[in-house]
């Protein structure tokens, strides 16, 4: 087992799939000559050449459309967006074409394409570069949505996404490309649609994904010092969502807290809350609670960035409230 950064885990997934299948190619801004804006594609141009690692103009709508057309014609494109904030320019292609072509063609066309890149906040980048979009894309039938920063999970899930017959939206995090994690040398694939219990516990279930997993795990570690046992679940896949793993955990702990980097209205936590109270209400000993990003645009000032995002102290406080402990 090796400890490698997230960017390397993602690169290895793409390289292995490109060696395995000549139909796979990578396309996006600065992915070739510059080795990727975040060096995820470093060295790939040298190995695979300019026909399979393709630099594009700054035109997200244009190269997303080329990718969709290519996917409909027996190739498997990986489209890198420099950030999902910029990908909103290409949302027509992702939502109105990639997601719908299978049903609109009566099954005559598939669209095996992966749209990937960093998502969410990364410090002082302001309102237009700090948005998390998992809930937007998870609302669209025909798309699969993956969101993770764990190197092991990222590699296995990206390989699965490249092989999938459906379009996949793959959310990463700019601030986490250098973070290390254990990844085996041998090939492996992680099934899309399966959550992972990162920490077993008995007193409360904490559900999260992407970089908010660091907040969830940090809160669990702080609570453990006080004898509180939190079970932490990493969703990994947002659509399809692994309801069963969440439900079974809630049946055991009888409490649920959700930590996410989304605006609160119409968020993923909203959907989880509805589904769990509908299906396992009798097991709940307290109302489901959640901590989200502020219902506002992200500002530039560091004190406002800190107020905007969920953090460990506020998560610990919320979990104690769910357990009816003194604040």
| Active site residues per annotation | 60, 129
Distances from the Cα of 254 to the Cαs of 106, 230, 316, in angstroms? 44, 11, 17
Return the structure tokens found at 220: 């669990």
**33/25 Cα distance (integer angstroms):** 15
d(CA 143, CA 241) in angstroms, rounded, equals 12
Torsion, CA 126, CA 93, CA 176, CA 53, rounded to 10: -120
Name the pairing type of β-strands 256-259 and 168-172: unpaired
186 Cβ contact list (under 8 Å, min separation 6): none
Closest by alpha carbon to 266, among 176, 158, 132, 145? 132
What is d(CA 279, CA 160) in angstroms, rounded to the nearest whole number? Answer: 30
Instruction: Measure the CA–CA gap between 13 and 162, rounded to whole angstroms.
Output: 9
SS3 content of the chain, % helix, strand, coil (to 5): 40, 20, 40
- Number of residues that this document lists for the chain: 327
Contacts of 202 by beta carbon, 8 Å cutoff, 6+ apart: 229, 231, 252, 253
Q: Which residues contact 78 (CB under 8 A, 6 or more apart)?
A: 14, 24, 25, 26, 27, 113, 114, 116, 162
């Amino acid at each position: 087992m090796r400890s490698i950064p997230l960017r390397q885990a993602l690169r290895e997934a793409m390289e292995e799939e490109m060696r395995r299948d000549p139909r796979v190619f990578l396309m996006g801004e600065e992915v070739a000559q510059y080795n990727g804006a975040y060096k995820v594609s470093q060295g790939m141009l040298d190995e695979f050449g300019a026909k399979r690692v393709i630099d594009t103009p700054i035109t997200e709508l244009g190269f997303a459309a080329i990718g969709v057309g290519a996917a409909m014609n027996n190739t498997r494109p990986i489209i890198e967006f420099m950030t999902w904030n910029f990908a909103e320019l290409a949302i027509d292609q992702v939502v109105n074409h990639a997601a719908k072509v299978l049903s609109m063609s009566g099954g005559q066309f598939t669209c095996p394409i992966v749209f990937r890149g960093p998502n969410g906040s990364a410090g002082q980048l302001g309102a237009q570069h700090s948005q998390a979009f998992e809930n937007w894309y998870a609302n669209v039938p025909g798309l699969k949505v993956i969101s993770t920063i764990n190197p092991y999970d990222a590699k296995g899930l990206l390989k699965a996404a490249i092989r999938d017959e459906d379009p996949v939206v793959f959310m990463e995090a700019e601030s986490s490309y250098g973070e290390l994690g254990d990844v085996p040398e041998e090939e492996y694939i992680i099934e899309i649609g399966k959550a992972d219990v990162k920490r077993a516990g008995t007193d409360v279930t904490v559900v999260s994904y992407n970089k908010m997993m660091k907040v969830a795990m940090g809160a669990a570690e702080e609570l453990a010092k006080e004898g509180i046992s939190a079970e932490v679940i990493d969703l990994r896949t947002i659509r399809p969502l692994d309801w069963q793993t969440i439900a079974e955990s809630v049946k055991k702990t009888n409490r649920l807290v959700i930590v996410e980097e989304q605006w609160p209205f119409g968020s993923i936590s909203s959907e989880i809350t509805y589904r769990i109270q509908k299906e396992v209400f009798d097991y709940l000993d307290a109302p489901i609670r959640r901590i989200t990003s502020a219902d506002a645009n992200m500002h530039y000032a560091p004190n406002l960035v800190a107020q905007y995002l969920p953090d460990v102290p506020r998560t610990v406080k919320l979990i104690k409230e769910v357990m009816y402990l003194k604040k």
